């Protein structure tokens, strides 16, 4: 099943995982997949940590999920550091394995590009190659606050619009405020681009996670930090976690009310917080419950 087809049929809900790099991580991910499978997500995506070994783990995990027939999968691909021939072969391998959904990413440019053979600098080049190789449904990344390497917000939006014209949909970096998504979608529309943009959801469940999220390009708003600090003063880490999950659930409802084409949950390979948010929004049959009337 193609993700663009799923999006055309109505709002989606999707979960993102990263490939395990140890037996312990593999055990955790297996349990998480089994648990979240019961929620009947529209699709799941698997990230790519970088390097040949990680790329193979992503390939193995995605193709295993696809072969199981229980879940629709999407593979993340990073093009920087690859030759066109190598990337073309990777794309063909996915098609042969029955995987038709890919997330086209650029990746980090090496400090010394001369040390790495690369025919790519930007994700749009990978989107173009995927179109050349086969009938893929192609997703791209969107950064509501701007890509870290962008020289300006205007430049970021211009390049994102160009990329999304060629792709089928976008998935955002995790965000924390409704306005981040609505502003992004509105600015893309000014370029005539109205492809689906899935907002990324990841609850802040610890105060120690706040600076890490900022380093990842998604600073936690001061109002949310204050809310978590108040919870911590009242009930410690458990209260912080509950408040973070509650805030993510509220944001999810706001996004759906505003017309978001779905929700994309960053799971960190664990199911508990994602399941809690999901259950606040959807019923046991996967249909949105809607807000209770006052």
d(CA 234, CA 7): 42
Q: Judge whether 16 counts as a catalytic residue.
A: yes
Six token digits for residue 39 = 């929620």
d(CA 103, CA 86): 17
d(CA 244, CA 225): 9
Cβ(145)–Cβ(218) under 8 Å? yes
Instruction: Tell me the torsion sign for CA atoms 169, 174, 178, 180.
Output: negative
Residue keyed to tokens 């173009």? 128
Instruction: Tell me the torsion sign for CA atoms 21, 26, 28, 34.
Output: positive
Nearest one of 226, 261, 185 to 3, comparing CA atoms = 261
DSSP character for 282? B
Nearest 5°: CA angle at 89, between 84 and 92? 125
Strand residues in the chain grouped as ranges (E): 12-17, 43-46, 73-78, 101-105, 137-142, 169-174, 197-201, 262-266
Tell me which residues are annotated as active site.
16
């Amino acid at each position: 099943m193609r993700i663009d087809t799923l999006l055309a049929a109505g709002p989606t809900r999707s979960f993102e995982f990263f490939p395990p790099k140890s037996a312990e991580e593999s055990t955790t991910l297996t349990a998480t997949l089994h648990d979240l499978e019961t929620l009947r997500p529209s699709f799941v995506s698997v990230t790519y940590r970088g390097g040949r070994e990680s790329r193979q783990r992503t390939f193995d995990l995605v193709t295993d999920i696809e072969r199981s027939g229980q879940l629709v999968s999407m593979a993340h691909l990073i093009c920087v550091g690859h030759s066109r021939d190598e990337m073309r072969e990777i794309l063909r391998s996915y098609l042969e394995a029955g995987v038709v959904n890919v997330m086209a990413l650029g990746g980090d440019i090496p400090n010394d590009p001369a040390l790495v053979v690369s025919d790519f600098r930007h994700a749009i080049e990978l989107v173009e190659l995927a179109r050349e190789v086969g009938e893929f449904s192609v997703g791209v990344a969107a950064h509501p606050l701007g890509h870290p390497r962008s020289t300006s917000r205007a430049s970021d939006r211009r390049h994102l619009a160009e990329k999304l014209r060629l792709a089928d949909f976008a998935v955002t970096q995790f965000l924390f405020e409704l306005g981040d998504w609505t502003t992004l979608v509105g600015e893309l529309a000014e370029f005539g681009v109205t492809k689906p943009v899935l907002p990324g959801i990841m609850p802040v469940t610890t105060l120690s996670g706040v600076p890490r999220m900022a380093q990842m390009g998604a600073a936690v708003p001061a109002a949310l930090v204050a809310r978590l600090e108040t919870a911590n003063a009242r009930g410690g880490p458990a209260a912080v976690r509950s408040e973070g999950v509650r805030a993510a659930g509220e944001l999810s409802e706001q996004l759906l009310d505003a017309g978001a084409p779905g929700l994309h949950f960053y799971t960190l390979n664990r199911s508990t917080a994602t399941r809690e948010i999901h259950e606040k929004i959807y019923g046991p049959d996967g249909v949105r419950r809607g807000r209770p009337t006052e």
